[in-house]
Amino acid sequence: MTSLFEYAPAPESRSIVDVRPSYGLFVDGEFTDGTGSTMKTVNPATEEVLSEVTVGSSEDVDRAVRAARRAFTRVWGPMRPADRGKYLFRIARLLQERAREFAVLESLDNGKPIRESRDFDVPQAAAHFFHHAGWADKLDHAGLGPAPRPLGVAGQVIPWNFPMLMLAWKIAPALATGNTVVLKPAETTPLTALLFAEVCQQADLPPGVVNIVTGAGETGRSLVAHPDVDKVAFTGSTEVGREIARSVAGTQKRLTLELGGKAANIVFDDAPIDQAVEGIVRGIFFNQGHVCCAGSRLLVQESVHDELLASLQRRIGTLRIGDPLDKNTDIGAINSAEQLVRIRELSEIGEAEGARRWQPECTLPDRGWWFPPTVFTDVSAAHRIARDEVFGPVLSVLTFRTPDEAVAKANNTTYGLSAGVWTEKGSRILSITDRLRAGVVWANTFNEFDPTSPFGGYKQSGYGREGGRQGLAAYLQGDDR
Ligand code: NDP
């Protein structure tokens, strides 16, 4: 499809980031060598090796947990809450000051478009620190009981889709409530967490309050299993979430799990089609579809199916795929070769099961990992592409005739993280959202986030909430509110 405008390249310079050839672990306020092996982190858009990072061993994890325990007992736990808040405000301001550096590094290591890392990931990460900084000295008034107390040491494991933002979602509430942390970033995206470690040093955060231990699944497993961890917070696949729940069962550890999703984005026939199309695009192609709450199942009322689909395909034809550092890019690279294999496999299964695949004409770069925006029609609820989390730019379209059918189909999933409703009628928004079993429901918008709003799932999407007042409870002693 020919686009309306030809865009000249508008590359963001990468000279602002200084990627070191190798990194140690950040333990007790310092970068130190690990005792394990090393691994390479790669730019998914070019397959260029960016740096070599440490694979934290169980010994390294133990060292980090001990540092976090010391910091909790001696410094961070006893500190006046208002003073903890000052550190968080300082970190938030430093994230803003160094925003461009974080954004470029995130796009290099993750493959996401600079437009998103610059305008979404990094500002949202700073917003989470600002939000929680404000809570630090107001916890007595949060409705979570008088003088709520921290849990102790939090072991936090995060995925690769929003490396910096997930770090903020985990670290900011933990610190604001007086806990100390050991965080393990994902194997393929460790660099912004290591840059964040520098920010902790710059903010003069007391040693041991934040520890970053890079590594792969085994490092995460050691952290989760460590006997001196009081709280485990995990975001990632449902499969690993299950394993973690098993390993934590029967211990004193508190656990929050933010797992997969297969969100329904429901469009009624009275919805403004152009607006809905923008919301559908944002719902599934944002961050290449590597989004746990992505609107990956489009449920469209039968009477507007053809009109909406034509409009959607026209719009998808204008999306620009390519260099994540180009400011015009809408869709960047798939984060890893493994993830690309998974997306391809599920798409092939979709076709084999009888769904129809549509992709716009587009040229993909020769190097790196790419997958074009894809729409499947003739999808039935039993198809794997309608049930499994693809975690890529792949939309499945299903239809419905009545509101009841829409609700039944939307809820027909093992997940329950998010959903969307598009309609002109306010009363319909209220009645439908009330019946959707999803932790977050957007109306006439999609993929909107705010630190004041709790986020989390039902069913196999996990339990516990992050953000908002509810997110604080997950890091405080007392009953699970
Ligand atoms: P994982 O769930 O394996 O990874 C999430 C994090 O957990 C990573 O830091 C990972 O380390 C770590 N980890 C892996 N195994 C263990 C373990 N046994 N104990 C503790 N920590 C562990 O996700 P993948 O990256 O493998 O992605 C696979 C699929 O999961 C995707 O295709 C997607 O469908 C889904 N996914 C969902 C996410 C969500 O937000 N809902 C996020 C990411 C993936 P490391 O990466 O270093 O191996």
What number does the ligand 1 atom closest to the CA of 235 have? 40
Q: Does the annotation mark 292 as catalytic?
A: yes
Ligand 1 pocket at CB < 6 A = 157-161, 184, 186-187, 216-217, 220-221, 224, 235-237, 240, 243-244, 259-260, 292, 339, 342, 389, 391
- Atom 46 in ligand 1: residue holding the nearest Cα: 186
pLDDT number for residue 481: 44
Give the pair of three-digit tokens for residue 330: 């809408």
State in Å: Cα 301 to ligand 1 middle: 35
- Closest CA to ligand 1's atom 43: 236
Catalytic residue among 187, 200, 292, 389, which?
292
Distance from the alpha carbon of residue 205 to the mean position of ligand 1, in angstroms: 29
- Closest residue (by CA) to atom 6 of ligand 1? 159
Q: Which numbered atom of ligand 1 lies nearest the CA of 216?
A: 47
Residues in the chain with pLDDT values less than 50 = 1, 480-481
What is the number of the ligand 1 atom nearest to the C-alpha of 215? 47
Q: Among 157, 222, 447, say which to mutate for ligand 1: greatest number of ligand atoms within 8 Å of CB.
A: 157
Residues 6+ apart with CB under 8 A from 24: 31, 32, 33, 34, 54
Residue 11 confidence (pLDDT): 93
CB 38 within 8 A of CB 55: yes
Q: Catalytic residue at 293?
A: no
Pairing of strands 30-32, 25-27: antiparallel
- Whether residue 57 contacts residue 35, with contact meaning beta carbons closer than 8 Å, is answered with yes
Alpha helices in 136-268 (DSSP H): 163-176, 191-202, 217-225, 238-248
The residue annotated as part of the active site, out of 258, 293, 389, 466, is 258
Backbone angles phi, psi at 73, to 5 degrees: -70, -40
Q: What is the model's pLDDT at position 4?
A: 64
Encoded amino acid at 252, one letter: Q
What's the 240 CA to ligand 1 centre distance in angstroms? 6
**How far is the centre of ligand 1, averaged over its atoms, from the C-alpha of 159 (Å)?**
5
Closest of 225, 239, 168 to residue 471, by C-alpha: 168
Instruction: Report which ligand 1 atom has the smallest distance to the Cα of 261.
Output: 41
Q: How many angstroms separate the first and last alpha carbons of the chain?
A: 52
Q: How far is residue 361 CA from its own chain's centroid?
A: 29
Q: Which atom of ligand 1 is nearest to the CA of 184?
A: 9
**What is the pLDDT, as a whole number, of residue 7?**
84
**Tens digits of per-residue pLDDT, 247-270?**
999 999 999 999 999 999 999 999
CA angle centred on 420, ends 426 and 126, rounded to 5°:
110
Q: Which pTM was predicted?
A: 0.97
How many Å lie between the centroid of ligand 1 and the Cα of residue 464? 18
Ligand 1, atom 21: closest residue by C-alpha:
220
Q: What is the CA radius of gyration of the chain?
A: 22
Q: Is 264 helix (H, G, I), strand (E, B) or coil?
A: strand
Distance 381 CA to ligand 1 centre (A): 26
| Residue 237 alpha carbon to ligand 1 centre in Å | 5
Q: Name the residue of 156, 188, 237 to mutate for ligand 1: max ligand atoms within 8 A of Cβ.
A: 237
